[in-house]
């Protein structure tokens, strides 16, 4: 793994740290490759239940490395998108722990995450239009799905920032915490998720994510197709037995 993306796994939780503090964790090709590798490891390793995406030195991510962009380097991975993530989110839960700025591509990376915890001083935004660019790594697509239409349009067209308080009021993020505590709060959420049945968690995420595009007439049938393995799994029996025996379950993910 590249030193611009640092990973650590502890008790089923992977921490993925964007680590280019000298560039406010701006994404270059090396970081995109490292992040893609981390996401592939997250989904392929049965010992990992959930991941936290964060940035070093009290900054989440300032977006694409514009100096690298001007020199002809593009931080996109084929079939995976900007940063190796925006077009290929993991099947397992991903939590963003945001300190400082999550701007442009950095905001688009945060938007891919299933949960967002942010410091009270954090800022979000897609200021690409201020540089003659557009938020083509998912911002223009995901903002209208995660925010009211006019707020999404305001942010996309003005390039202005949104503070953490407004983001929370609008349901864009889950929690705000004092500055410096975003990662600890994300760890708390991750521990709760890691303690649940891994198959149930993974497939529950799939239903929540995919059902947005399902019609009323098809939604229960499509949900059943996805969730059937949960109800016939060893984990379902283990969860019921553990409850009856008043002990912690021993999940197998099957």
218 is catalytic: no
User: CB under 8 Å, gap of 24 or more: what pairs does 15-18 form?
Assistant: 15/51, 15/52, 15/54, 16/42, 16/51, 16/52, 16/53, 16/54, 17/54, 17/55, 17/56, 18/53, 18/54, 18/55, 18/56, 18/60, 18/61
| CB-based contact 154:54 (threshold 8 Å) | no
User: With contact defined as beta carbons under 8 Å apart, do 187 and 13 qualify?
Assistant: yes
Closest CA to 233 of 206, 207, 201, 200: 200
- The residue from 33, 128, 218, 234 that is catalytic is 128
Residue found under tokens 């984990």? 235
Q: Are 211 and 96 in contact (CB under 8 A)?
A: no
Q: Is 179 a catalytic residue?
A: no
Which one of 108, 179, 181, 238 is the catalytic residue? Answer: 108
Residues classed as catalytic: 108, 128
């Amino acid at each position: 793994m590249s030193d611009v993306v640092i990973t650590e796994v502890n008790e089923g939780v992977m921490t993925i740290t964007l680590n280019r503090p000298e560039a406010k964790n701006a994404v270059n090709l090396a970081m995109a490759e490292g992040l893609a590798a981390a996401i592939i490891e997250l989904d392929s390793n049965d010992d990992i239940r959930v991941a936290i995406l964060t940035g070093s030195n009290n900054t989440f991510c300032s977006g694409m490395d514009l100096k690298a962009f001007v020199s002809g380097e593009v931080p996109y991975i084929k079939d995976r998108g900007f940063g190796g993530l925006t077009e290929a989110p993991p099947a397992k839960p991903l939590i963003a722990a945001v300190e400082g700025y999550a701007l442009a591509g950095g905001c688009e990376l945060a938007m891919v995450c299933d949960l967002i915890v942010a410091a009270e001083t954090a800022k979000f935004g897609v200021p690409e239009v201020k540089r003659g660019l557009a938020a083509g790594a998912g911002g223009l697509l995901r903002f209208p799905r995660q925010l009211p239409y006019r707020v999404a349009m305001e942010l996309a067209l003005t390039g202005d920032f949104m503070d953490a308080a407004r983001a929370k009021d609008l349901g864009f993020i889950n929690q705000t915490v004092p500055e410096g505590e975003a990662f600890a709060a994300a760890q708390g959420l991750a521990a709760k998720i890691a303690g649940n049945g891994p198959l149930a968690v993974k497939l529950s995420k799939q239903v929540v994510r995919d059902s947005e595009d399902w019609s009323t007439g098809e939604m229960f049938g499509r949900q059943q197709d996805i969730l059937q393995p949960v109800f016939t799994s060893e984990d379902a029996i283990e969860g019921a037995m553990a409850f009856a025996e008043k002990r912690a379950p021993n999940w197998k993910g099957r």
